[in-house]
Amino acid sequence: MARYALGRVGQALIVIWLAYTVVFLSVQLLPSDPVTIFLSADAAPDPAVVAAMQAQYGYDQPLIVQYLGQLAGLFVGDFGYALSAGQTVVERIGGVIGSTLELAGWAFVFAVVLSFVLVSVASLVKVRWVRAVLEALPPLFSSVPVFWVGLIALQVLSFQLGVMSIFPDGSFLSLTVPVVLLGAYVSAPIAQVLFKAIEQTYAQPFVDVLRAKGASETRIFFAHILKNSVAPAFTVMAMAVGALLAGSVITETVFSRSGLGQIVLQGVTAQDIPLVQGLVLITATAFVVFNLIVDLLHPLLDPRVLKAHPAAAGRTR
Amino acid sequence: MTIHTHSPAHTTADSAPVLVDIQDLQVTYGDSSPALDGVDLTIRPGEVVALVGESGSGKSTLTKAIIGLLSGSGRVTGGTLTFDGQDLVNASTAEFRRVRGTRIGLVPQDPGASLDPVRTIGYQLTEVFRIHPQKELRSKESQLAEAARLLDLVGVDRPEQRLRQFPHELSGGLKQRVLIAMAFALKPDLLIADEPTSALDVTVQKRVLEVFDRLAKQTGTAVLFVTHDLALATDHASRIVVLQNGRIVEDRDVRAIATDPQHEYTKLLVDAAGQRTPADDLLERALAAAGIKDPVPDLEAQLLPAVEVHGLTKVFGTGEAARRAVDDVSFSVPAGTTFSLVGESGSGKSTTARLILRLLHQDVGTVHVHGQDVSDLTGRQRRDLWKDLQLVYQNPDSALDPRMSIEKIVSEPLDNHRIGTRAERKAKVAELLEQVNLPPRVAAARPAELSGGQRQRVAIARALVLGARTIVLDEALSALDVLTQAQVLDLLDALQRDLGLTYIFISHDLHIVEQISDRVGVMQAGRLVESGTVREIFDSPREHHTQALLAANPGNLLRELTPVH
């Protein structure tokens, strides 16, 4: 188990390093350097200013020096300087990430709870049409655009009913509405994968053996079916980080919330390469961390995973 | 045309109380014709009844109806079914739950998939006591102790340790013992065993069934034992019920059925189970068909070997974990004959087959096929070898691509080797389908529309399409029921005669091996411990291991009752 965990952590670090390298290299593919691009956004920049700024931020150094220097910076939390904000990237992101984490975190919790409740009720309910309706919900959630429902919610709750402020004011509704919208959207793939996995688990012969033991359907579902079926759903949850961040950008824009979404928009519009680079790296890290958590949880859910990695399972037992 | 024949033994027991009483039971799936059509069956306390029939005869439906687990659209559409006086046809789910596990137990067909893979053995065994709370088994410790006692009872070694293990850490035989322990945990009055050992090899099967017999006797539990193997049924049951097309065609004492089968279908089953066609006869028949009157004494020796392996060794793993899967195996198979490899699971039969097929590379030794040294073939040469040497695999369901038509499946090797025009390929496929006795219309069908036996015929046709002269059959008949096995055996026999094919036949079913083989090799732990003609091996086995294998072969009572004809 220890070797399995170490192996996974090592793989995660390699993925982050690769992500950073790809981002660094793709920036080099741009026709110019970050300073020139940033300064060119408005008008033709003064070459002297460009040269001065390049020297200040180290963009005049040879590539390999830049690469290693920036890589070394990452280890001490130095992501460079966000040109458009006049702050370091860490300060810029740190200033708004709390708001995004609040939104994304609650939306994630809501999505997980919603998908599990949906799937559990649909699996145990005996009325056929209720089941059919519940199974139809996830595709509906994933096909309705968040911004559209968001605008309707704003229109109805703020303008017509006047119960919610147009701008976030810290009230219950101003957080709940975006959380529910984003959460429902993110829950869709989780619930769909769970439905499929549960259907496959129910088709296995051991379920009949459980019934023959006299187990109730509730016991069969919660004590056996669920544990057998959650592994693929966990994988989707880790992938949902992407949908969560992308959804955050839209949701934050619709509900005028500050957050990563806002600075992603800003960074891209202002062509602030160091800021975008930092954001990409944070997203990649979030992906990797979530996948790592899933990989580490997997053997606890399904003991066969370690067997499938004999080298990792090793002689620890 | 139901024939009800009652044996004297059966009628004298009429005064005893009845545990299961089924009258005129009819079960239907959806809108199709009934799967069970007027079944009458009684089971008395402590009685061991074997339910025999081919796949699709309704065996599983009958057992599922008794335990209330009819799948999908299945429902009882007529008749009565009572268990110890309780009506089970109209029983509610809650009522059924009180009966299941406590009074009726189930030992399922496939031990590999019948335990929850993500729960420990201990959790699943003690679950019975949590579902049906027992006065003296309230605490977790007492439940675990009882579970360990049960495991010990069914002959599982190191029970305390096993309780903490997961199903994938146990062998098939051990898993089935766990399932038996689970079914016997609350000493049910009736145990339904649905082909409990069809997934196990003969020696394991014998040990598992011995445990089963012993427990049933000790607890006075009645057993309804489902099997498609009449030989197995005669060894373990006191009464045999034969089911065909949803009707009981014969229901009599074991000895009466074995010695004097009444119904046509039962006669077929008894023949198939007891049939012995000595290979010498086959050879003589083949020679006669070829117009040769007197076989030359050393005929075999004159035939060029189709396959010859020498000193074949294959080691899996390294260091401490290294295991000799195949250990210095040598044998030679004359062209036009059948050589069978028998042995327990893990004895190296399949590895040997894969070495011959060049799907694996040996560590030491040589392989010759049709006189050519193929020990180090690679790439292109290997593909050419496979025109001559083909494999028919155990499970026809997974060996055929479900999305391809039968015609496409059979002609695929021709396509791969770019042989012939489209019209020629089509003609070749039609010719082969005819050769394996499949009607021309199956060409357009998909594998799912065919029966297991038909699918295996397709696999054989595919193996022959490039003109292979030697075929490796790896457990090729294991997934089929007895009568279908007999038909495919006939086909293999005919093809061998017509085309002069050589078979390397791998099986744990000694009964089939005895019918098909000219020579037999017995493998144990990677070594070929004994080989000889089929009569030498079966009539006078020298090695202890061979004798043990033969003793485990079911049907001893049947052989005693129906001597070789």
Q: How far apart are CA B221 and CA B47, in angstroms?
A: 7
Start-to-end Cα distance in chain B:
30
For the CA atoms of chain B, what is the radius of gyration? 25
What is the sign of the dihedral through the CA atoms of B260, B263, B266 and B268?
positive
Cα of A193 to nearest chain B Cα, Å: 19
Interface of B with A in 463-522 (CB under 8 A): none
Q: Which of A124, A198, A206 has the highest number of chain B CBs within 10 A, making it the mutation to test binding with B?
A: A206
Answer whether B110 sits within 8 Å of A205, measured CB to CB. Answer: yes
Quick check: B322 contacting A, CB < 8 Å?
no
- Report residue B341's pLDDT band, with 50, 70 and 90 as the boundaries: very high
The average pLDDT across A69-75 equals 82
CA distance A286 to chain B (A): 29
> Which residues of chain B neighbour A302 with C-beta distances below 8 Å?
117-118
Q: How far apart are CA A118 and CA A191, in angstroms?
A: 7
The residue type found at A165 is S
Q: Which pLDDT score, from 0 to 100, does residue A169 have?
A: 75
What is residue A41's predicted lDDT score, i.e. its pLDDT? 65
Rounded distance, CA A26 to CA A208, Å?
A: 55
pLDDT at B122: 94
CB-CB: which of B69, B113, B116 is closest to A211?
B69
CA distance B337 to A80: 78
Question: Least CB-CB distance to B116: which of A228, A301, A307?
Answer: A228
Chain A residues touching B132 at Cβ < 8 A:
214
**Best of A1, A200, A208 to mutate (most B CBs within 10 Å, chain B):** A208
Decide: B541 and B529 in contact? Cβ < 8 Å: no
Other beta carbons within 10 Å of B109 = 20
Query: How many alpha carbons fall within 13 Å on the CB side of residue A234?
Result: 20
Least confidently predicted of A159-173, B74-88, B413-427, B500-514: A159-173
On whether any CB of chain A is under 8 Å from the CB of B99, the answer is: yes
Q: Are B101 and A227 within 8 A, CB to CB?
A: no
Q: How confident is the model at residue A110 (pLDDT cuts 50, 70, 90)?
A: very high
Per-residue model confidence (pLDDT) at position A315:
35
Q: Does the beta-carbon distance from A210 to B115 stay under 8 Å?
A: no
Question: What distance in Å separates residue B206's CA from the closest CA in chain A?
Answer: 23
Q: Nearest CB to B69: which of A208, A216, A227?
A: A208
Please tell me the least confidently modeled range out of B11-25, B114-128, B477-491. Answer: B11-25
pLDDT at position B26 is 92
Interface touch A302/B117, C-beta < 8 Å: yes
Query: 3-state class of B333 per DSSP?
Result: strand
- In whole angstroms, what is the distance from residue B308 CA to residue B469 CA? 14
Of A206, A213, A227, the CB nearest to B101: A213
Q: At B317, which amino acid appears?
A: G
Q: Which of B386, B395, B488, B482 is nearest to B436 (CA)?
A: B488
Cα–Cα distance, B86 to B66 (Å, whole number): 12
Residue-wise pLDDT tens digits, A179-227? 999 999 999 999 999 999 999 999 888 999 999 999 999 999 999 999 9
Provide the pLDDT for residue B562: 64
Whole-number percent of chain B with pLDDT over 90: 23
Q: What type of residue sits at position B500? A: G
Specify whether the CB–CB gap between B239 and B49 falls below 8 A.
yes
> Which ipTM did the prediction report?
0.78
Instruction: Please tell me the distance from the alpha carbon of residue B316 to that of residue B326, in angstroms, as a whole number.
Output: 9
Chain B residues lying within 8 Å of A216, measured CB to CB: 97, 131
Mean pLDDT on B73-80? 88
What are the chain A neighbours of B127 within 8 Å (beta carbons)? 213, 215, 223
Does residue A307 belong to the interface with chain B, where contact is any CB pair within 8 Å? yes
Tell me which of A1, A198, A209 to substitute to probe the interface with B (most B C-beta atoms closer than 10 Å).
A209
- A112 against B203, higher pLDDT: A112
Please tell me the distance in Å from A208's CA to the nearest CA on chain B: 7
Closest chain A residue to B96 measured between Cα atoms? A214
Structure tokens of B446? 């998909």
- pLDDT for residue B301 is more than 70: no
Residue A43 pLDDT class (50, 70, 90 cuts):
low
User: Across residues A108-133, what is the average pLDDT?
Assistant: 92
pLDDT band at B274 (very low <50, low <70, confident <90, very high): low
Judging by DSSP bridges, how do beta strands B470-474 and B389-392 pair with one another?
A: parallel
pLDDT given at position B379: 80
Structural domains of chain B sorted by starting position, each given as residue range(s) with its CATH number in brackets: 20-274 (3.40.50.300), 305-398+468-560 (3.40.50.300)
Interface check for A121 against chain B (CB to CB < 8 A): the answer is no
Size of interface A-B (CB pairs under 8 A): 77
CA distance A301 to chain B (A): 7
What A298-303 contacts at long range (C-beta under 8 Å, 24+ apart), as own/partner pairs, is A298/A231, A298/A234, A299/A1, A299/A4, A301/A227, A301/A230, A301/A231, A301/A234, A301/B118, A302/A228, A302/A231, A302/B117, A302/B118, A303/B117, A303/B118, A303/B166, A303/B168
- Nearest CB to A214 within list B97, B109, B113: B97
- The rounded distance, in Å, linking the Cα atoms of A257 and A168 is 6
Across the interface, which of B109, B110, B127 has its CB nearest the CB of A213? B127
Band of the pLDDT at B279, cuts 50, 70, 90?
very low
| Least confident stretch, A122-136, A223-237, B386-400, B490-504 | B386-400
Please indicate if any CB of chain B lies within 8 Å of the CB of A302: yes
> Does B114 sit within 8 Å of A209, measured CB to CB?
yes
The overall pTM is greater than 0.80: no
Contact B116 A210 (CB under 8 A): yes
* Cα–Cα dist B73/B56, whole Å: 16
A-interface mutation test, from B69, B92, B116, most A Cβ less than 10 A away: B116
Is residue B114 less than 8 Å (CB to CB) from chain A?
Answer: yes
Residue A228 contacts B, CB cutoff 8 Å: yes
Summarised one tens digit per residue, pLDDT across range B112-144 is: 889 999 999 999 999 999 999 988 888 999 999
Average pLDDT over residues B189-212: 82
Tell me, what's the pLDDT at B300?
Answer: 47
Is A303 close to B106, i.e. CB distance below 8 A? no
Mean pLDDT, residues A81-89 taken together:
78
B127/A215 CB distance under 8 A: yes
Q: In this predicted structure, what is the pLDDT of residue B563?
A: 56
Nearest to A227 among B100, B104, B118 (CB): B118
Could you say which of A213, A216, A228 has the minimum Cβ distance to residue B128?
A: A213
Q: B374 CB contacts (<8 Å, ≥6 apart)?
A: B358, B367, B368, B381, B382, B385
- Average pLDDT for chain B: 83
Mutation test of the interface with chain B: which of A211, A216, A307, choosing the one with the most B Cβ atoms within 10 A? A211
Distance of alpha carbon A129 from alpha carbon A248, whole angstroms: 34
DSSP sequence for B164-201: TS-GGGS-HHHHHHHHHHHHHTT--SEEEEESTTTTS-
The answer to whether the Cβ–Cβ distance between A214 and B132 falls below 8 Å is yes
User: A32-46, A93-107, A270-284, B353-367 — which is least confidently predicted?
Assistant: A32-46
Q: Which of B67, B110, B113 sits opposite A212 (nearest CB)?
A: B67
Locate B386 and state its tokens.
Answer: 């496979």
A300 touches B at CB < 8 Å: no
B493: Cβ–Cβ under 8 A, 6 or more apart, which residues? B282, B516
B110 interaction partners in chain A (CB closer than 8 Å): 205
Amino acid occupying residue B507:
S
Instruction: Please check whether the domain covering A97-258 is classified as CATH 1.10.3720.10.
Output: yes
Residue B259 pLDDT exceeds 90? no
**What are the residue boundaries of the structural domains of chain A, listed by start?**
2-89, 97-258
Nearest-Cα distance to chain A for B347, in Å, is: 22
- Which of A206, A210, A304 lies nearest to residue B168, judging by beta carbons? A304
Tens digit of pLDDT for each residue in A227-284?
A: 999 988 998 988 888 888 888 888 888 888 888 878 888 888 877 888 888 888 888 8
Contact check, Cβ <8 Å, A213/B182: yes
What pLDDT was estimated at residue A215? Answer: 92
Does the structure show a pLDDT above 90 at A151? no
Give the range among B13-22, B131-140, B452-461, B556-565 with minimum mean pLDDT.
B556-565
Q: What is the mean pLDDT of residues B432-436?
A: 86
pLDDT number for residue B15: 57
- Using the beta-carbon criterion (under 8 Å), do B131 and A219 form an inter-chain contact? yes
Compute the distance between CA of residue B316 and CA of residue B343 in angstroms, rounded to an integer.
19
pLDDT at A309 over 80: no
Q: Which residues of B touch A213 (CB under 8 A)?
A: 100-101, 127-128, 131, 182
Contact assignment for A208 to B108 by CB distance below 8 Å: yes
The minimum CA-CA distance between B189 and chain A, rounded to whole Å, is 14
Determine contact: A223 vs chain B, CB below 8 A.
Answer: yes
By percentage, how much of chain B surpasses pLDDT 70?
90
Residue of B554 and B492 predicted with greater confidence? B492
